[in-house]
Structure 1
Amino acid sequence: MPIHEKSLIRPENLIEHKDLFIDGIDVSGHWSTFINSRALTDYDESMQEEIAALPGGENIHRCWQCGSCTNACTVNALNPDFNPRYWIYLIRNGMKQELLLDKDIVWQCVSCNKCTYACPRDVNPEGVMKATAHWLELKGHTEKKPSMIFDEGFSQQIIETGKIEDGLVIRQFFARTGQKLAQNWLVAMAIGLAKRLPVAMGIKMGFAAVFHPRTRGWSRARAAIKDYVHEREAANRKALGLPTGEDGR
């Protein structure tokens, strides 16, 4: 079946008649399944250009659909619906509605980069997946996923202090995602650490959790990083035709 026909066999497009008899013959069931006819009228010619304008999507135009990315994909081995080749095909053909059907799994890329190493055209499929997930978020098609929330908290702490305090990252992540802090695995890990860590190290970690130490002379670097992040976010939104002012961020 040609790749552009794949969406025709989605469950919602199948017609299955039950207790259907024609000339006394039972023709109900899957063996006589019909597929809804349809016409695609929602081609978005700007979609490839917009995703190519985001970090990681620059080389999407090089793809020749060899399938090396999907064949090498770690996530595809566990979930066959995770198909980078197919999504790149949809993007290049402007098939926006078809892409949105998979919006809840595009973000599951684990950045193992096996696809990037396998790609003979230097498309950087891992980057395209990240750019696509970012595009879906900026366009309002998806809510922020747990991985995005974690990345934001992690980055925010680095920008503010120049350091990473793991306990704070975890606490903030649980708070932002509505999870309880007293996770069984976390309690078990904390007890295990308390039994094995030297007293001095435990005191140092407790101090860091309360006072959040900063890298010396970090204020100038922090200001520069914030300016850069703001410029990148504004550039990404501009590329998608979205507001770039304070109200649109």
Structure 2
Amino acid sequence: MTKEPRWKSQELETADVRQKPEFQNRVKGIDGKHVQTLTRQLEKDGRLAPIEVAKIGKALYVVEGFHRLEVYKATGRKTIDAKVAQMTLSEAKDWALLANTTHGKNLSQADKASIFQRYIVAGRHVWSEGETMPVTALAGTLKSSRAISADINGIYSHETVRTKLKARGLDLDVTVEFPGGYKPRQPEEDMLVSEIRHEAIDSLWDFERHYQSLEMEDQQELLGIARGIIQNLEDGKKPNRVTECTGRIGLDI
């Protein structure tokens, strides 16, 4: 979707690098636990991978590496390694949108949904003048699901993109989507299986994060509820929904 910027390696004053909320592609923002992990890595290795910084006019904005910047500021490091590129505000938004889609801390399902929504709102799902497009495409027409999936670095498969576009009332041109007359073999309701699986895994990691934040007594109660849910699932039964516990914790699972 966006051309690789012309990066220049620099050592920047940490305090000079600004954070712009619209450049953050994670719904929950900074994850304290991930900051702790990176802090330990910094203490061990002495440095972290360079962050990516957009120079807009004379101002410096982080577009990739929010957690690393947080670590350097929290630990009082005066300078930080960075890759810097001159960008317009629009270019910086485009680049920041896809930060961490191919590396770094895994994106949650909410992160992916937010990225996709911002991509659509920005109108990147239609061909624009200046883009390298198929010979049969016209500026202003909807891209194929494969082109969109490639634009967003594959965070969604092209089948999932197709389904999500349809849910928004955006119907793909059949001749563009299936130039050889190919029709999807799977029913549409099966196309999100992979994403549902990943969402379930993300939920398990959320469970672990909440578990670690509790006192031992509440941890044991939470584990007991989890075991009951697992047993019911293994027995082919639908688990009862728990909304509160006898201890200090409140659940809605």
TM-score (norm: length of structure 2): 0.34
Structure ranking higher in helix proportion: 1
TM-score (norm: length of structure 1): 0.34
Structure ranking higher in strand proportion: 2
